[in-house]
Amino acid sequence: MSARRAAATVALAGLGAGACGLTAQEPPPIRAGVAPQPGIYAPGVDVLHYDVEVGLGLDTDWFEGRVDVRVRLLDDGVVLPLDFTGLEIAEVRVDGAPAPYEHEAGVLAIPLGAYARGSEPRVRVRYRGVPDDGMILRDNVHGERSAFVDNWPNRTRFWLPSVDHPADKATVRYAVHAPTAWKVVANGHLVTEGAPTPPDAIGPPGSRRTWIWEVGVPISPYNMVIGAADLEVTTVGLAACGRAPASRRADGCVEVTYWAYPQDVAKAAPSFRRAAEMVDHFTETIGPYPFEKLANVQSATRFGGMENASAIFYSEQAIAAGRDIEGTVSHEIAHQWFGDAVTEASWHHLWLSEGFATYFGAQFFEAADGLEAFRARMEQSRQRILAGNDADRPIYDPLETDLFALLNDNNYPKGGWVLHMLRGVLGDEAFFAGIREYYRRHLHSAVLTSHFQAVMEEAHGDDLEWFFHQWIYRPGYPVFEVDPTWAAAGSGMGGTLTLRIRQTQTEAWPAFRMPMDVLVVQDGREHRERVEVSGRETSVRLRLPGGSPPASVVLDPEGWVLKGG
């Protein structure tokens, strides 16, 4: 996600329902973005599939939903705890029979004690109401009605009964009944494009068409979206041909499109012109494209961009204003691999999503526009870290219980810098081999930092505990002061350059161990040596061939290390 251009939350609560016999039986919504308790989320259950049906209207604030949740029981005597809040439940059934349930404090608890461990009951929930969040039903930036889902981090529960945690991935089928004038987009591939809606279908009455989308690889609930509005679809191109195992196309490619309001199609074009090129770049660099297609959608998301698997949602205001959001596009597309296909198993390891998307999103420009373009982005990112206040906390910060507060300079730019520094330590060959292996091994699953560390240690052929400990689990960054002393050895014998490298960052931050290059210019010639600093003060001696004092000494000349000053 890109949080940089986050818009204010649109207050939807308090709109009266008042249509179609809706009663005031909607429970009050719980607060979004509260970190779950540590430990296993929803123990004893593994959701395999959500079969979702949504009925939307043209001028209504309410919608109607139905979901069939197929769940595998990992234990006997399980109570299924579906996250669900702020909407009225019409019916709960288990394998077709009416079932008892409790709905309190945002949890719909359905006893499944009659089912043994290993069984896979199908739980149906029918519901309706005025959503408080998650499903955004409102006029778009042009004053026209639209419906967009916006879930991050745990707002899926405001519109879809679900085990609303990133680690429980599932496949999804969506049937969406939407006003005739609208197009509907969702994750996965299109099964049915706007067929006449049966008159008895759920949702507000009116002239509607039914769209069916299906995602055949498991995705996290926060990635499960539909969008419905008057949208125009433009094809950017085909990508990842032969390297997209989820593709349903005969040619094995994925179609890359963008969906924009009719008023904004031309304004959107420059930002998306290289979207297919980006998919190809990340396929080359990281591994096969994980999903069926890639739609880039102008939408009501509160974020600058939201990486929903194969249906990325972008800020409607940014596109309508004609802003160039190509950097955001690259970031969100990188998320398809990291965040969406390989997902953080806990919100507190968010850097595995946001740091990776920040780094690879920038790295596209290294390949496409050259090293200087990439370095400029990394420098901008470094300046943001230095200017911000987040460095006093570590990247992994389990004490933070407000998930929205994790959208910070630690998980974004500093997480990106951690990857850059790791690349500097390992070298390109081992680094990218490790990245590809990490993706291959953990595709479609959920991981912690330790999983990534283990793969990178294999690629490096050495322990990296020192690296991950200081950069992920400790705060800060080093600030270096270098004092050079030159001692000539005698005529024609060269001399010795002694560098006293002090780390002058606050005592509250650790001293960092880092290998770095030193570039010395002496008598018009460049000398480069790799040194390793550790502790608050490191002295290194470099033998130089010339007899005169060096003209310049530069620590880390290519900028591989995040440092202050």
User: Which positions lie near Zn ion, rule CB under 5 A?
Assistant: 1, 354, 357
Length of the chain in terms of residues written: 565
CA distance 412 to 355: 5
**Residue 291 C-beta: closest distance to Zn ion, Å:** 16
| DSSP string over 410-476 | IIIIIHHHHHHHHHHHH-HHHHHHHHHHHHHHHTTEEE-HHHHHHHHHHHHTS--HHHHHHHHSS--
Instruction: Work out whether the CA dihedral 134, 137, 140, 146 comes out positive or negative.
Output: positive
**Residue 257 C-beta: closest distance to Zn ion, Å:** 20
Q: Which of 357/406 has CB closer to Zn ion?
A: 357
Q: Which of 272/356 has CB closer to Zn ion?
A: 356
**Residue 299 C-beta: closest distance to Zn ion, Å:** 15
Q: Which of 314/480 has CB closer to Zn ion?
A: 314
N-term to C-term CA, the chain: 29
The 3-state DSSP class for residue 198 equals: coil
**Residue 253 C-beta: closest distance to Zn ion, Å:** 25
**Residue 121 C-beta: closest distance to Zn ion, Å:** 36
**Residue 339 C-beta: closest distance to Zn ion, Å:** 7
Q: Which of 357/520 has CB closer to Zn ion?
A: 357
Q: What is the dihedral of CA 235, 238, 243, 249, to 10 degrees?
A: 70
* Per-residue burial over 30-57, b = 16 or more CB atoms within 10 Å of its CB, e = otherwise: bebbebbeeeebbebbebbbbbbbbbbb
Q: Which of 64/354 has CB closer to Zn ion?
A: 354
- Amino acid at position 532, single letter: E
Instruction: Work out whether the CA dihedral 279, 284, 288, 290 comes out positive or negative.
Output: negative
Q: Which of 314/396 has CB closer to Zn ion?
A: 314
CA distance 147 to 300: 8
Q: Which of 229/309 has CB closer to Zn ion?
A: 309
**Residue 407 C-beta: closest distance to Zn ion, Å:** 9
CA distance 329 to 220: 21
> Encoding tokens for residue 427?
């070298």
CB burial of residue 418 (10 Å; 0-12, 13-18, 19+)? buried
Q: Which of 129/153 has CB closer to Zn ion?
A: 153
Task: State the residue number with the nearest CB to Zn ion.
Answer: 1
Q: Which of 137/385 has CB closer to Zn ion?
A: 385
**Residue 1 C-beta: closest distance to Zn ion, Å:** 4
**Residue 4 C-beta: closest distance to Zn ion, Å:** 10
